[in-house]
Structure 1
Amino acid sequence: MFLVAVPLSLGLAVASGAPVVAGLIGCIVGGVVAGALGGSPLTVSGPTAGLTIILASTVQNYGWRATCAITFMAGLVQLALGFGRVARTALAVSPAVVQGMLAGVTVVLILAQIHIVLGGSPQHSALANIRELPGQLAGHHSHAVLIGLLTIAVLLAWGRLPVPWRGVAGTVARRIPAPLPAIVAAAVTAWALNLDVPRVELPGSLLEGWQPPVMPSGPVPEIAGVVIAIAVLAGVETLLTSVSMDRMRPDGVPRADLDRELAGQGAANTVSGLLGGLPVAGVVIRSTANVNAGARTRYSTVMHGLWVLLLALVCGPLIEQVPLSALAALLVAMGVRLLDNARVRDLRNHGEASVYFITLGGVVAFGLGEGVLLGIGVTAWMALRRLTRLSVDVEEADGRWHVMVSGSLTFLGVPRLIGMLRRVPAGSAVDLDLNVDFMDHAAFEAVHDWRMTHERQGGEVDIDEIHETWYERRVTGDMTPTRKSFPPVRWWAPWANRWRRSENPELDAPEVSASALLLAGVREYHGQMVPLVRPIMAELAFKQTPEHLFITCVDSRVVPNIITASGPGDLFIVRNVGNLVPRHGSRVSDDSLAAALEYATNVLDVKTITVCGHSNCGAMAGVLAGGAEIDHLPGLSRWLKHANHSLARFLDSEPGAEPPLSRLCQINVRQQLDNLLTYPWLRNRVEAGKLELVGLYLDLETAKVHILDRPAGSFVPVPDEAPDELPDLPTVS
């Protein structure tokens, strides 16, 4: 962390027009103060590129000492926001705006630093830098260009070159971040060739010539705006970084306390402003490097700040050998890496890429504040457009007209709705489906007036509301709030029980292919379920942690996630014909189920293995018939030999009131639980109390699930109401 932070902090100080030592002070304070007091243990704070442009403008307008006072006051604002517990409200800003803002700041930074790499001086604005760039490219070929190109070359090559050393030396060489060898190579080259290039200038000590901050002179509203802009910008960047680190945190690391993190950043900025340092914020690049290096606690952040302090105290002459063009080249390379196309692809998938590019262009063309406001405005317009999106479909079939209205039915959609309803002939029978999540008064009046008019003309209108009964409640005057039902309550039903033909025209054919049914189901999933499960799946995308291995039959009527009310990531499911578990060492081997058992227990460390059988099982019917009906299926015949022990147990049991097939299905579950205990390593886990074995039985006719009471040797109903503390369910011990 220390090796990454030092060159970047120096470069950001130069880019901001601040004293070079201010970058080191900000880096030290960000590491020690924010690291010790913040609420995100893995987030690394320090000077950040996101603040460079606004900071450069502040230094130019008010001077450095007044900028320190502004940093101090911004820290007080962040402290107040943190203690006011409003940190999460900052996350309401669209990520597309924030990422577009950071990309815009990065582009402005790159344009300014390219001029320094070319041996010139940056202009007062990004557009001016673009206009002057051709002249800089044609007219400047000084030693600064050589040093800048050398720095970029080392940055690109480092990590790609083979390391000739083995052992400790090779490991250290591979772990050194690229910025350090790039800056060292530039400094050594400039010193060895005695090149005349501008270099870093440091005072004799960190606080040499220190003077207290002074209040900036100017209109109070203008100064307050700068203070709030720095506080909010640094705060939002910190909070977004903390949220990102939460997703990357290793096991055992606590989640971030965002309010405490914001207060910790405020404390760091007050100290940094008082000591003459740059404002600080949580930085994604350094925080990611921190996690990748193996950090587990906040001490890594604090230690990196102490290392910077030690360097500044004892290695000042070495730092002064660093060419400014090398730092500028480092910032250019860092900025190019920040312009990540993956972010744009993610935003494009969510339809928000336009917000990103508009914010980016606004920051480059007009300035930071103007660009952010432009992005927020576009986001608000797009949100309003989505909220008022309306779909109206009209079709005629079998002498009846069907009108399907989907979306939000507001006054904005009334003209389109009325225009579509006019296509319905007078006196006809109409089915009007209102699949709407909101209906305002203007829309209600439009629908109701059309209905009354149509019925007066001899027509018939049947209104069916799929979600909330907006129309019915307004007709009756009952506007009591109701719970929203989305997706439709019959999402779990078979395809034929919930789809209208008119909603799926491809299903109208007399003989519908299986693939058409499947694709229609995928479309329904995309339209209704994906928005709900996407956040969950994003968290599970790179790691699964189920606690239950669920072994059940391949029967299409058994749906484990429905009968257990579970979701993605809850059950590790194995399905086979007859929910069988081949015994350990059986002559007819089955590596498939053994592999699942090994992976579930040794890798996923599941706590429970459940065997779930069901009534009217075709596999058990085949076993009960002696296999005569499946002689023509050799693979199935071999597989059902694993049920011979269940059949023997059935023959030894006393006949009861239940039908023979139901009794065999239940006995089969008990036998498979015993088969699990034939695996020695699995039995050891059960006997050590690390694993529970559970038997379930689904009665298809009643749709009820029963649980095996092992001591009684029978299945009992699952209690309808759970007590305050969950009891020890009957399991195999």
Structure 2
Amino acid sequence: MTSQLEESSAPPTGRKSSTFGADLGASLVVFLVAVPLCVGIAAASGVPVELGILTGIIGGLVVGLMPGSSIQVSGPAAGLTVLVASAVHAHGLAMLGVIVLGAGVLQILLGLAKLGTWFRAISPAVVQGMLAGIGLVIILGQIYPVGGLEQPDTTAAKFTGLGELATSLVTTPAGQSGLALAAVALLIMVGWKKFVPAPVNLVPGALIAVVVTSAAAFAFDLPVEKVEVGSLLGAINIPTVAAFGEINLAVIGSMITFALIASAESLFSAAAVDRMHDSPKTQFNKELVAQGAGNSICGVFGALPMTAVIVRSATNVQAGAKTKASRVLHGVWLLLFVVALPGVLGFIPLAVLAALLLQAGWKLLELKSLVQLARENRSEAAIVAFTAVMILGTDLLVGTLAGLAVAVVKTAVEVSRLHVRAEHADEHVHVELGGNATFLRLPRLLEHLENLPSNKHVHLDLSTVRHLDRACHQAVENWIAEHRKNNGTVEVAMPAKAG
């Protein structure tokens, strides 16, 4: 009996061993996906590439160990390149750490205040529009490195520079070589999963694309710019006391923008990843605190901001990850790689990294989803398109806020539907109102009331109105007074609670 109890209470070592094996394999796959993306996102953000890898390391070793989500993976995100590039351009690289640190502290406070779940209340159309807008900005910006040109600073300059870019792609050796390498990289990434059988296709197509094109650029000595790599320790950009003294309203605005956008992207990613696996689901407030802790540490080292990244997280799930160990180990591999083999990154052409981000931007557009949405709900699709265009034409914060404002107005209009039904008899008119009578429907309400005949008794039934706001309530009372003043008779049934 005792031996049976001892046997039954012993830990399932075989199961732990198999779990660790699955996590180890998944961590290697995620690591291979993360390396080119960390480098590419840093390059697109206009900061040393080592800072992108440093953010990936912190995402694995710090956020990976914290409670919140067990499967999703954190690191630098393509969706934040626009914000980072703008912040560095406006405030300088020295202020990046201050901004990211401030954003991280805000995220921690939001999580401790249990506001994480409120991010799920944001209109999905606005979120989709935000991601699509980011995708458009990425695509419009990253086509320039393909042609061997510097990316213009403004959207207008990016559009006006397309002619020069086209000329460079066709006539210059750097443009022709960059176009060829980018095209090959895109073809490999698109076709890898489709045409390469398992288990070989578990190796990320992005990694294969980078290796093949980098080898081709080296073998043929192509005249393309390559990644400039320095020391990881040398790239660390710890904020100085003087930098904190330069905090102003614009910097605080950047902190708030970073915090809100990074939090929204992380928690939307968590909601999507939770549908992909059977492991414990994300605790949103704890995940927000974890993301804030990771960004605070990134800020201390002057690294890029982080979010939970859907591409790496989905790869982690598909590679068979079971526990947090996979994402922690991916951070370990990133650290070992940048310490032992940093020179390998110097072989990667910038045009190839641009191709990686072009694919990432294209995925953010989700055109198939937008077309399907347009068939089912045109107003929601219009919000997506409006938000994306506003982000492209202004900036991420203004575009997103504009999209939210339109979504709120649309919801208010839809919620405040007012139904009016009138039955005319010889001596009286029965008017029944239903739905929600708000100020948005006040013109329609007044139109119906003012068109009622003055020589008949009016029975105005508002008993089924779910909500009668102050504006409509006063309008009804004023009409009644005016109607009776003109010798008309009115009988009114008001809602049980008129607000």
Normalising by structure 1, we get a TM-score of 0.58
How many Å apart are 1:338 and its aligned residue? 1.7
SS at match of 1:320: helix
Task: Give the aligned partner of residue 380 of structure 1.
Answer: 408
Specify the alignment match of 2:355 in structure 1.
329
Residue by residue, what CA displacement relative to the aligned partner does 1:530-571 show, whole Å, maximum 9, x if unpaired? xxxxxxxxxxxxxxxxxxxxxxxxxxxxxxxxxxxxxxxxxx
Distance 1:245 1:428, change over 3 A: same
For residues 54 and 77 of structure 1, what CA distance do their matches in structure 2 show?
17
Query: What does residue 52 of structure 1 align with?
Result: 81
1:140 equivalenced with 2:174 (yes/no): no
Q: Pick from 245, 252, 263: which aligns with 1:235?
A: 263
User: 2: distance between equivalents of 1:317 and 1:442?
Assistant: 69
Q: How many pairs were matched up?
A: 459
Question: Which residue in 2 is equivalent to 1:188?
Answer: 215
Q: In structure 1, what is the Cα distance between the partners aligned to 2:402 and 2:492?
A: 46
Distance 1:355 1:211, change over 3 A: closer
| Aligned-partner residue type, residue 392 of structure 2 | V
- What letter matches 1:471 in structure 2? P
One-letter amino acid of the counterpart of residue 138, structure 1: T
Measure, in 1, the Cα distance between the counterparts of 2:91 and 2:496: 63
Q: Kindly indicate whether residue 145 of structure 2 is the aligned counterpart of residue 149 of structure 1.
A: no
Residue 48 of structure 2 corresponds to 19
Counterpart residue number, 2:27? none
Summarize the Cα distance change of 1:411–1:381 in structure 2 as closer, same or farther, 3 Å threshold. Answer: closer
Taking structure 1 as reference, are residues 397 and 117 closer, same or farther at Cα in structure 2, changes over 3 Å only? farther
Which AA in structure 1 matches 2:181?
I
| Partner Cα distance (2:439, 2:136) in 1 | 42
Name the structure 2 match of 1:312.
338
Given that 1:444 and 1:471 are in contact with CA atoms closer than 8 Å, whether structure 2 keeps it comes out as no
Q: Hey, what's the Cα distance between the residues in 1 that align with 2:114 and 2:31? A: 31
Q: What residue in structure 1 maps to residue 102 of structure 2?
A: 73
**In the aligned structure 1, how far is the partner of 2:48 from the partner of 2:293?**
22
Question: Are 1:427 and 1:457, in contact at CA under 8 Å, matched by a contact in 2?
Answer: no
Matched, 1:224 2:224: no
Q: Is the 8 A contact 1:82 1:263 kept in 2?
A: yes
Greater helix percent: which structure?
A: 2
Higher relative contact order (CA 8 A, sep 6+): 2
Q: Which has the larger radius of gyration?
A: 1
In 2 relative to 1, CA 307–429 (structure 1 residues): closer, same or farther, beyond 3 Å? Answer: same
In the alignment, what sits opposite 1:365?
Answer: 393
1:53-202 correspondence to structure 2 within 5 Å: 53-141=82-170, 142=174, 143-163=177-197, 171-202=198-229
Rate the CA distance shift 1:471–1:332 in 2: closer, same or farther, 3 A.
same
Amino acid at match of 1:335: G
Structure 2 Cα separation of the partners of residues 272 and 373 of structure 1: 27
Distance (Å, rounded) in 1 between the aligned partners of 2:82 and 2:467: 44
Q: Which runs of 5+ in 1 are unaligned?
A: 164-170, 464-469, 480-733
Q: Percent identity?
A: 34
Q: Write the distance in 1 (CA, Å) between the matches of 2:53 and 2:232.
A: 8
- State the shift of 1:362 in Å: 1.5
Distance 1:245 1:19, change over 3 A: same
Contact 1:154 1:182 in 2 (8 A): yes
The structure-2 alpha-carbon separation of the partners of 1:431 and 1:369, relative to structure 1 and needing over 3 Å to count, comes to: closer
- Any idea what SS the aligned residue of 2:435 has? strand
1:38·1:264 contact (CA, 8 Å) conserved in 2?
yes
Q: Secondary structure at the match of 1:158?
A: helix
1:515-554 aligned at under 5 Å gives the runs none
Q: Kindly state the Cα deviation for residue 273 of structure 1 after the two structures are TM-superposed.
A: 2.4
Distance 1:372 1:443 in 2: 32
Q: Distance in 1 between matches of 2:274 and 2:441?
A: 41
Instruction: Please state whether the residue corresponding to 2:281 is helix, strand or coil.
Output: coil
- Which amino acid in structure 2 is aligned with residue 371 of structure 1? G
The alignment partner of 1:121 has SS state of coil
2:38 corresponds to: 9
Go from structure 1 to structure 2 and tell me whether the alpha carbon gap of 1:449 and 1:345 turns closer, same or farther (over 3 Å shift). same
8 Å contact from structure 1 (residues 427, 455) kept in 2: no
The 8 Å contact of residues 236 and 303 in structure 2, kept in 1 or not, is answered as: no
Counterparts of 2:390 and 2:471, CA distance in 1: 37
Given that residues 216 and 223 in structure 1 are in contact (C-alpha distance below 8 angstroms), is that contact kept between their aligned partners in structure 2?
no
Q: Where does residue 394 of structure 1 map in the other structure?
A: 422
Deviation for aligned residue 1:217: 6.7
2-structure distance, mates of 1:277, 1:446:
58
**CA separation of 1:277 and 1:444: change in aligned 2, threshold 3 A:** closer
Find out whether 1:213 has 2:242 as its counterpart.
no
Q: Is the 8 A contact 1:44 1:290 kept in 2?
A: yes
Write out per-residue CA displacement over residues 21-48 of structure 1, whole angstroms, 9 at most, x where no aligned residue.
1111111111221111140112211100
> Distance in 1 between the 2:312 and 2:52 partners?
15
SS in 2 for 1:248: coil
Alignment partner of 2:419: what SS?
strand
Give the corresponding residue for 1:558.
none
SS at match of 2:251: helix
Structure 2 CA distance for partners of 1:414 and 1:68, relative to 1, 3 Å:
closer
In structure 2, C-alpha distance between the alignment counterparts of 1:254 and 1:472, rounded to whole Å: 46
| Pairing of 1:220-619 with structure 2 (within 5 A) | 220-250=248-278, 253-345=279-371, 348=374, 349-350=376-377, 351-396=379-424, 401-425=429-453, 426-427=455-456, 430=459, 432=461, 434-447=463-476, 453=483, 463=493, 471-472=495-496
Q: Which runs of 5+ in 2 are unaligned?
A: 1-29
Q: Given that residues 465 and 495 in structure 2 are in contact (C-alpha distance below 8 angstroms), is that contact kept between their aligned partners in structure 1?
A: no
Contact 2:50 2:235 in 1 (8 A): no
Distance 1:198 1:381, change over 3 A: same
My pick for the range that moved more, 59-68 or 327-336, is 59-68
CA change 1:411–1:380 in 2 (3 A) is closer
Q: Distance in 1 between matches of 2:251 and 2:139?
A: 27
Q: Secondary structure at the match of 2:431?
A: strand
Whether the 8 Å contact between 1:35 and 1:44 is mirrored in structure 2 is: yes
TM-score, normalised on structure 2? 0.84
SS at match of 2:36: helix
Amino acid in structure 2 at the alignment position of 1:224: I
Shift of 1:414: 3.9
Instruction: Classify 1:292/1:400 alpha carbon distance in 2 versus 1 (closer, same or farther; 3 Å).
Output: farther
Contact 1:62 1:216 in 2 (8 A): no
